[in-house]
Structure 1
Amino acid sequence: MYIRPFDPWKSKLCTCPFKYTLNVYTGCDHACVYCYITSYIPNAFRVRTKENLLPKLERELRKFDRRYIIALSYSSDPYPTIERELGITRKVLELFKRYDVRCLLLTKSDIFERDLDLLSELRCAVGITVTTVNERKARLLEPNAPSPKARIMSLRKARKVGIPVYARIDPIIPFYTWEDFEETLDALSFVSHITVSTLKLRPDSKKRMFAKFPELMERLWPLYERGEKIGGYHYLPREVRFEILRKAEKKITEKGITFGSCREGYRSFPSCDGSHLVP
């Protein structure tokens, strides 16, 4: 089965409403330093296609309960670099249109702009992840992803054609991206909903962060040593997380944007993931 119920590792802190998920590709070439998929996808930063995806997906969609949402994608970005050439995600969206599927699309790319004609005809909401609008920091954290500026420009175009849009500011990294939060929020002030999440480290991502940002991690890791380990992830101490989340919530809601948090044990409204925006 390619369409599967979304279940983020049975995390006790997950507050997502029930939905399904589909990863069009296996692996993601954005190669983000903090990425969690390297803990369960071999060669995670190498993108591969899936065997007979489209005919198998169509068979699944014939039986799919259209009351539910399918999210693209939480393990592999639906718009890796190779999508420009292959167009598999576009073909998936064409199937969604044919079978009237409700869709929540999340990406760290600007390639989705190519598909705005199709997305505007779907029952969907489109979101981007922006860790920081600081281009230098973003390039260090997300070496192969399109620039935050390009992502944001494409999302503005989606809004102009009437597509509900949302964003994730994720992960928030103390002493680093948190310093740019207000600037990042200002750049995203046109969206309807923003989800935030603090940096959560697994052994593999911790190793990459120490290798890439040794001075930052010398300041940051002592905080995590005081924190909790939940579901294989190192979390910031609860009081540190909640202080960040409270400040983020206040700044977001002051702009008239609804607020969500992801796997934090903190509140969200009216949904954590933006699924309430899907028509």
Structure 2
Amino acid sequence: MPHTKLNKLLKPVKNLYLPKEAKIESVEKFTKDTYLFKVKNVLDQKILPGQFIEVSIFGMGESPISVCSYNDNQIELLVRDVGNVTSHICRLKAKEKMMLRGPYGRGYPMDELKNANIVVISGGTGTAPPRSVIQYIQKHRNDYKDLNIFLGFRSPEDILFSKDLSKWEKEFKTKVIVDKGNPSWQGETGMITDLLDKYKFPKKPKFVLCGPPIMIKFVTEKLIKHNYPETDIYVSFERNMKCGVGKCGHCMIHGRYVCTDGPVFRYDLAKKFTE
């Protein structure tokens, strides 16, 4: 067979593990160990709310990081210094490079959420994935009804996305609570479930959840106790992921791969994850 015909038949195989080099456009320190990276988008696929990418440093390894923005030209990543790889990522400065591959996973089903009232409930660094949902709704405002935002943090010093919060408070019903305040804190103090008891939700809401497993457990219990359907609750599970493409088996929980079947699951399909 002539080489020209053979070349047409042979399609290049996409390397699932091959990252692309991306330039860091800015780095903002939020807390003592948490940073917001804004990176040029070099990925081929559109990133949907709730998806994640693998961020790597040559010689150190890689880490799955949720995208916390909805922007075609730029990727925003919230990175917490909690391990060897993320520690090296957090040392990077603007104009330096990081390696990216993805996006991966099933995000929040924005099409299914259309024409509904949306309630975002998140805690700590779990605020990152729902931030992309909020930005998506802002850019497609006519497709959604009311948006309520409930956020919980350990202390006033741990509050993330302060600039966004000031804007969200003007546009949406936005409430923030901290576990423990300080002398200058004038907001709510307690657990995030306290907010759910205090404030009313809009009619027939769809819930967008993300946060520590213990938070997810008590929030979902509270919602179900108030007779909200499990099918209207969407939860992001981000622990245990490694390869991002369902090959290593690192993130399998109850027969499902968090990286490919999730990380976002409807609660009726994922309630065993919190048990």
Fold similarity call, TM over 0.5: no
More strand by share: 2
TM-score scaled to structure 1, two decimals?
A: 0.29
TM-score scaled to structure 2, two decimals?
A: 0.30
